[in-house]
Amino acid sequence: MRDLRPFPALIALVLIGAACSSPGASSAGQSQAPQQSQGGSASQAGSASQGGSAGQPAASSGGGGGGANGSIHYEISGDLAKSGDLPFFSNTAVSTFANGGWVAYFYTESDPNVIIQINSAPGSNIFNYSDGTSLVIGTDALGCTFDYSRNDAGGLKGTIDCATVMASNVTSGATLHVKVHATVDAHT
């Protein structure tokens, strides 16, 4: 039963992330959230990166996804085969650096159901993925390796590798057996 504790937390994070990433959602302090900057290609968005505001995905950098503040490239294999690139959402109302690590969110408006959240605080590393139909949770305790060359207030850079993770299909409740590899390069 102990291994199931992260699921309620992940569900809450996914719901919060989805609410923050929905095109119509806005609140005080989130006026800089990307509105339609992801509608074009990375090269079109690149021209908007000159002095862009925090949290606005634009030019390609980082882990491979278009993002003025970097991105994450992820590969999930096994019972769930997903891969892609997501820009770092650096808006400080959403992604924050505290207690020696990040609570960092990665998503794009072109597919707002896909959200990755990383907690990089020493001793409590977590990788969370949700696409609206599946949940994937990787932690130190589950055997994931979090290898960061940078984890400070200026950004997060490194790799995440998980041979085993907690994963499920949210529709059927079926347990999924998956592996995760991710490369992150996010900066403020």
Nearest Cα to Cα of residue 69 among 40, 99, 37 = 37
pLDDT at 61: 38
| Strand partners for 96 | 103
165 neighbors 180 (Cβ within 8 angstroms): yes
From the centroid of its chain, how far is CA 91?
13
Alpha carbons 100 and 150: distance in angstroms, whole number: 11
| Amino acid 19: pLDDT | 37
Q: Could you read off the pLDDT tens digit of each residue along the chain, which spans 188 residues?
A: 344 344 444 444 443 443 333 333 333 333 333 333 333 333 333 322 333 333 333 333 345 446 789 999 999 999 999 999 999 998 888 999 999 999 999 999 899 999 999 999 998 999 999 999 999 999 999 989 999 999 999 999 999 999 989 999 999 999 999 999 999 999 99
The separation between the first and the last C-alpha atoms of the chain, rounded to the nearest angstrom, is 38
Q: What is the pLDDT of residues 25-54, one digit of tens each?
A: 333 333 333 333 333 333 333 322 333 333
The pLDDT of residue 133? 95
pLDDT for the residue 67: 72
Q: What is the pLDDT of residue 14?
A: 41
- Cβ(73)–Cβ(63) under 8 Å? yes
Helix (H, G, I), strand (E, B) or coil at 62: coil
CA atoms of 64 and 37, how far apart (whole Å)? 17
